[in-house]
Amino acid sequence: MLTGLNIAVIGGDARQLEVIRKLAELDAKIWMAGFDQLDHGFAGAAKAKMNEIDFTAIHAIILPVPGSAMNGTIDTVFSNEEISLDRKWLDRTPEDTVIYSGISNAYLDGILKEAKRKHVQLLERDDVAIYNSIPTVEGTIMMVIQNTDFTIHGSSVSVLGLGRVGMSVARAFAGLGAKVKVGARKSSDLARIEEMGLTPFRLLDLANTAADTDICINTIPHLVLTAEVLAEFPSHAIVIDLASKPGGTDFKFAEKRGIKAMLAPGLPGIVAPKTAGQILANVLTQLLSEQLKERKGSAQ
């Protein structure tokens, strides 16, 4: 149970509803900012504007998965109210308040460092990332089917990166009968790709392997699909970029080249928000329970 824990959930999408539901069931007291257009409520959770929340009593702040924009604004799918996270809110919280988000950026890192508040990035955890790779894969398959006039079976698929998402994507497309090759930098990753029965190649050789690619799926959050690389793709090729914004693709050149390239971060929240929210809720429950135990232990 999370009895005695005061939590502010600020903004977010349908995934946050699963988080709120789970935490409310565990008897946490929740303030919801950015949910004024939500039709239904949750027992133990109250809608509030930012200036109505008593931040001096807040033990945890849960931000949307993307964290915040670079100007501090927070995504609010269930409100037209513009919400910004800045130092004035953080400075009012107790020193042991923990801020949770999916990922971070320079702005969020900066104000949290200045406020000296602990920050947990949920998508940096292996368990969350691996569970999240399941709806990510399903969403990627959906996008490929919707945007091609050929089957995945028998097509040539290039997956860039063998991280937690890249591995799941590569395995799934191979299972659908595609001819999958995976690009990586580390020799250990190249060995693992070959062990998986797939075709490895070094990312430095990406331009040389692009000519026979029908579908390219990027998971690397750095510019890897440059104009030089995209120039080697066939015109019918499709690029699904799963990396966080701004992605790893030169989208302007892709459009000029006539290649369909789509940035698709956050697919779990789009294709399976209920499942994605439950994944976050389960991990947050564990982390908040540990936080509550630490608070009780320090109070004794």
Q: Are residues 144 and 226 in the same domain?
A: yes
Specify if 1 maps to a domain: no
Q: Are residues 283 and 175 in the same domain?
A: no
Specify if 223 maps to a domain: yes
Domain of 72? 6-124+272-299
Helix spans in 27-160 (H): 87-91, 106-115, 126-146
Question: Rg of the chain's alpha carbons, rounded to an integer?
Answer: 21
Q: Are residues 108 and 131 in the same domain?
A: no
Cβ atoms within 10 Å, residue 145: 10
How does residue 166 score in pLDDT terms, banded at 50, 70 and 90?
very high
| Helix H or strand E encompassing 10 | strand 6-10
Mean of all residue pLDDT scores within the chain: 94
Specify if 98 maps to a domain: yes
Q: Are residues 179 and 229 in the same domain?
A: yes
Tokens representing residue 246 in the block: 């701004």
Q: Which CATH number is 136's domain given?
A: 3.40.50.720
Q: Are residues 53 and 143 in the same domain?
A: no
Q: Are residues 239 and 151 in the same domain?
A: yes
Are 146 and 169 a contacting pair, CB within 8 Å? no
Q: Are residues 111 and 156 in the same domain?
A: no
**Statement: residue 299 has pLDDT above 70:** no
Specify if 205 maps to a domain: yes
Q: Are residues 255 and 277 in the same domain?
A: no
Cβ atoms within 10 Å, residue 80: 8
pLDDT digits (tens, 9 = 90+) for 73-98: 999 999 998 999 989 999 999 999 99
How does residue 1 score in pLDDT terms, banded at 50, 70 and 90?
confident
Q: Are residues 12 and 94 in the same domain?
A: yes
Give, rounded to a whole angstrom, the gap between the first and last alpha carbons of the chain: 19
* Tally of structural domains, the chain: 2
Tokens representing residue 104 in the block: 């971070």
How does residue 40 score in pLDDT terms, banded at 50, 70 and 90?
confident
Q: What does the angle CA 164 – CA 166 – CA 168 come to, to the nearest 5 degrees? A: 70
Specify if 93 maps to a domain: yes
pTM for the model: 0.84
Residue entry with tokens 């982390």: 287
Q: Are residues 237 and 280 in the same domain?
A: no
Determine the pLDDT at residue 300.
56
Q: Are residues 256 and 284 in the same domain?
A: no
Q: Are residues 78 and 99 in the same domain?
A: yes
pLDDT digits (tens, 9 = 90+) for 185-206: 999 999 999 999 999 999 999 9
What are 213's strand-pairing partners?
none
The rounded percent of the chain whose pLDDT value lies above 90 is 87
**Statement: residue 156 has pLDDT above 90:** yes
At 251 the three-state DSSP class reads: helix
